[in-house]
Chain A
Amino acid sequence: MFEKVAAALVTTPLWPLQSENMRVHLDAEKCQGHNRCYALAPELFDVDDYGQAMLLVEGDVPAELHDKARLAAANCPEYAITITDKG
């Protein structure tokens, strides 16, 4: 149980990378449908009929959406969104 809590408390860095490549990852197990990502970055996230987040991009995030991806990650209350520089 506490492993889950500990994992949830690990902060996702707000501006983790300077690299030009960006990947977004969504942990569907952690998502509880807060809908923050869809509100902030509808180009990257959609929601299903139950309000659960769905990732719309595969592979690299287009450069013009990097800021929105970071915003979505930085506002997920469940830490379900992470950003890396490769897949």
Chain B
Amino acid sequence: MTDTLDQSSGAPTMRIDEATGNKIFSFERNGETIEFVIGSSPEGTDIWQRVPYDADDYGPVSDFETDFDHADPAYNPSAPEVWKALREGGCPVAHSDRYGGMWVPLTNDTVNEVAYDTDNFTSRSVVVAVGRPGDLALPAPIGGAPPITSDPPFHNIARRLLLPAFAPKMIEPWEPEIQRLCQKLLDEMGDITPGESVVDAAVQYAQNIPVNVIGRMLGFPEKDEELFRQFVHDVLERIAEEPGTREGTDDLGAYITQQIAEHRENPRDDLTSYLMNVELDGNKLDDEVVAGMVILLLVAGIDTTWSAIGSSLWHLAQHPEDHQRLLDDPEVMTFALEEFLRAYAPVTMARLVAKDNDFHGCPMKKDDWVLLPFPAANRDPKKFEDPDTFIVDREENRHAAFGLGIHRCLGSNLARLELKVAIEEFIKRFPRFELAGDVRWSVGQIRGPREMPVRILEVAD
């Protein structure tokens, strides 16, 4: 599989800047010369700026309208209630001084507006944390993990390299593989006594599915799955901790560098080798760009879908009528799948304000964070009828679980397939189950159950 740069954008040229060793790509578009610098930051300087925020100074959230914090452990378990209360209280955009300043649009209209406005809002960093990319980081159009951290016009170049690998017809053949994986996980739960046996649907099931598939697509050893989950925890959940103490983030970079070296020794038919060999008009990608893309695929492809699977099973454990409908009428899954994604969308993205602007009366300053809670947009009554009700066969459902605009989730076809198969296999094996204890929810931008004990009430013959 090879790809070349979209010809309409003109052929890029590359030169090496002798002073820094950076590669500088330039090409013509609409008569304008556009340059990208790709390379290491000078002398290994820290490319992250520490923002003035210490979680200990703030404590738990007292008011989500003026002190919003999605990393407060109380947020994810009750996020739909938080959004509803804020919207009904006349707050379309919440604010917080935390993380150096953060805005949170909560209505469908305001979330859409930010998602489509790539001029005022940059994707340079998409995970709110105590650090944000400094002036020495890879420049705005590229970012650390392209294309999710890229802005136009580079975004489209990076995205087109990855799109074919995740197009529907490339993903469909994975269905039997995912079925086998799910069945194996169910087998490993051992002997089940209906009415007595309790299993953890998050730990023993949901969390193991996407990590296995993306690890195999990237060509990484299956034995490293626990490590990958640790990386994801470090990057997405430990956002208020000092960058220096989040040693896992450095481990991730080192691990990917080592995998790239290993793939250089032993090239094979996987996504990592593909990215190392793909050419942009005759030039291979810099290792740093390959590593950024691999990090994106690994991090984005794990706890997102795992959360969607967990939340969907959490719903079914409490709504036997929807569970029964899926068993009686498997065709309804086409609609149910989208309703799970709408009602329990796991992913909130983020942007940085690119330039000072007035957003519906909010004085946004350059480098302020903006959270993009697509899950909140999915429950806006102005967009969805009866949004807090799960309607298993909802026919009109333009949900934004995978985002909107140019950053639509690259892996959405894979995520959908994993979610569908995971639900189908679980309810086929266990036609009845219920919650059997406290659910522990994730912390931060990805929302889903991390521990979820369920009692199995019936096992299929």
Contact = CB atoms under 8 A, between A and B. Distances in A.
A71 B334 CA distance: 12
Contacts of A84: none
Interface string B390-417: 0000011111101011101000110010
Interface stretch (A16-24, A57-65, A75-83): A75-83
Contacts, number: 71
Contact of A8 (B116, B168, B169): B116
B413 A35 contact: yes
A33 B163 contact: yes
Interface of B: 109, 112-113, 116-117, 119-120, 160, 163-164, 166-169, 334, 338, 395-400, 402, 404-406, 408, 412-413, 416
A75 B338 contact: yes
Contacts of A35: 168, 412-413, 416
A77 B163 contact: no
22 contacts: A1-B120, A2-B113, A5-B112, A5-B113, A9-B112, A14-B396, A32-B404, A32-B406, A33-B408, A34-B402, A47-B169, A49-B164, A50-B160, A50-B164, A51-B164, A51-B167, A51-B168, A74-B398, A76-B398, A77-B398, A77-B400, A77-B404
Nearest to A49: B164
A18 B120 CA distance: 42
B163 A78 contact: no
A8 to B, nearest CB: 6
A65 to B, nearest CB: 16
A38 B116 CA distance: 23
Contacts of A77: 398-400, 402, 404
Contacts of B408: 32-34
Given A75-B396, A77-B399, A38 B168 contact: yes
A39 interface: yes
A78 to B, nearest CB: 7
A51 B116 CA distance: 20
Contact of A51 (B163, B334, B406): B163
Contacts of A4: 116
Main secondary structure of the interface of A (DSSP, over half): loop
A53 B166 CA distance: 14
A40 interface: yes
Nearest to B409: A34
Contact of B112 (A8, A32, A38, A74): A8
Contacts of A8: 112, 116, 404
Number of chain A interface residues as a range = 20 to 34
A36 B398 CA distance: 9
Contact of B395 (A32, A33, A74): A74
Contacts of A51: 163-164, 166-168, 413
Interface string A23-50: 0000000001111101110000001111
A74 B396 contact: yes
A42 to B, nearest CB: 10
A47 to B, nearest CB: 5
Nearest to A14: B396
Contact of B109 (A1, A9, A33): A9
Contacts of A48: 167
Contact of A32 (B168, B405, B416): B405
A2 B397 CA distance: 24
A75 B169 contact: no
Given A33-B163, A33-B408, A51-B164, 19 more contacts: A1-B116, A1-B117, A2-B113, A4-B116, A5-B116, A9-B109, A32-B404, A32-B406, A36-B338, A38-B168, A49-B163, A50-B163, A51-B163, A74-B396, A77-B398, A77-B399, A77-B404, A78-B404, A78-B405
Contact of A47 (B116, B117, B168, B405): B168
A5 B397 CA distance: 19
A35 B405 CA distance: 13
Contacts of A47: 167-169
A5 B167 CA distance: 26
Nearest to B109: A9
